[in-house]
Chain A
């Protein structure tokens, strides 16, 4: 037997034809702008390209100035590959419309990658010639370009903190890439000055994304 409440709930609210007309006009106006349609997979590719592309550019510059040898690069290849994979998984998880569980996995993978970066370093006795905070600043500086790309794409969907954080982690791999290529300090330095910079980049993406009005509320 249907209760009064069920019958009440089944009643349709009155249609507001004027409001529907104005909404259709607004949507037509938006369509008339003929903005290009961006697929979310293309957005993932852009974020990964921004991070990995920047890392590759840094590697080429260092090689051109004789600061980096091919053998050194090959020695770091497993960690660099791990960073590219982390960037791709995190970007996919954050920008995919249905990636809630993948987002958790993305954070986990980023943590594992950060741990691998720290554990792969051997203790160094020599005093660094440059201030250690320079690494942090460089990381954040390099990460700023992918972060801007990531935040722009995050605006195309409803704001979700975990989504923004995981895309920020993807963007932050650019700085970690730089750290692997240009810094020979020990694990304490990597943990204190590299990994923290990665976290700063991720949190910056989260805060920027939260402060901006989304262009759409799509999942």
Chain B
């Protein structure tokens, strides 16, 4: 990232190749809407290009990048909630019979369950359980206490467990 900040545009290609898949996965889990996730992916990398002057040298790039993606996703979800509040609720129904682990339909079942979590809890679960962030890192990113970050992740994880029924158990 520091090379990119110094004007080496090739460095951006390297950053993109290394991190784009991860950001795509994060956004897919956050919004579960293909076109919106792609839009947010573009927004995230355009933000990296436009705001590279805001990157603090000596800090890690990945948390900065995922913070941008999370900010963009939160903003999009907020707008979507606002639009949905104005229209009829067409809430997606979770699958009635949960498929087995390893079944491709299981991924869809998990995605359905993810979408039923409040965005703050969903973000905390993804960052802590999938991206491997510490609660301190989540707290710093969101400007909340470490305890609040831990509670969000824990509640989100427990709710996922309940939503997935027996598949969520050990």
Residues in chain A within 8 A of chain B (CB atoms): 1-13, 15-16, 19-20, 22-24, 26-27, 30-31, 35, 37-40, 42, 97-98, 100, 156-159, 215-219
The answer to whether B56 has its CB under 8 Å from any CB of chain A is yes
Nearest A-chain residue to B107, judged by Cβ: A11
| A13:B167 contact, CB within 8 angstroms | no
Can you give 26 contacting A-B residue pairs, CB < 8 Å? A3-B161, A5-B169, A8-B167, A10-B130, A19-B38, A20-B21, A22-B38, A23-B38, A23-B42, A24-B45, A26-B42, A31-B9, A31-B12, A40-B54, A97-B56, A100-B143, A156-B50, A158-B68, A216-B46, A216-B50, A216-B54, A217-B68, A217-B75, A218-B51, A219-B67, A219-B71
A37 touches B52 (CB 8 A): yes
Residues of B within 8 A of A98 (CB): 56, 140
* Chain A interface, >50% SS class: loop
Given the contacts A10-B130, A27-B49, A217-B43, A5 and B161 also touching, CB distance less than 8 Å: yes
Q: Are A37 and B5 in contact (CB under 8 A)?
A: yes
Q: Does B129 reach chain A (CB closer than 8 Å)?
A: yes
B107 touches A19 (CB 8 A): no
Is B24 in contact with A15, judged by CB distance below 8 angstroms?
yes
Beta-carbon nearest neighbor of A40 in chain B: B54
Say whether A23 contacts B53, CB under 8 Å.
no
User: Which chain A residues border B129 with CB–CB below 8 Å?
Assistant: 6, 9
Interface size grouping (class) on chain B: 35 or more
**Nearest Cβ distance between residue A40 and chain B, in whole angstroms?**
5
Chain B residues with CB under 8 Å of A1's CB are 170
- Chain A residues near B49 (CB-CB < 8 A): 27, 30-31
Task: Identify which of A7, A27, A31, A38 gathers the most chain B CB atoms within 10 Å of its CB.
Answer: A27
* A13-B29 contact, Cβ under 8 Å, with A3-B170, A23-B20, A24-B20: yes
Determine if B44 is an interface residue (Cβ-Cβ < 8 Å). yes
A16 to B43, CA, bound (A): 16
In the complex, what residues of B have CB within 8 A of residue A97's CB?
Answer: 54-56
Q: Would you call B50 and A30 a contact (CB within 8 A)?
A: yes
As a 0/1 sequence over residues 155 to 170 of chain B, the CB contacts with chain A under 8 angstroms (1 = contact) are: 0010011001001111
- With A and B bound together, what is the CA distance between A216 and B55 in angstroms? 12
Contact B107 A16 (CB under 8 A): no
Inter-subunit contact B21/A40 (CB<8 Å): no
Q: Which of A39, A97, A219 counts the most chain B CB atoms within 10 A?
A: A219
Separation of A114 and B31 alpha carbons in the complex (Å): 44
Kindly provide the distance from the CB of B168 to the nearest chain A CB, expressed in whole angstroms: 4
> Is B16 in contact with A24, judged by CB distance below 8 angstroms?
yes
Report the Cα distance A95→B164, complex, angstroms: 43
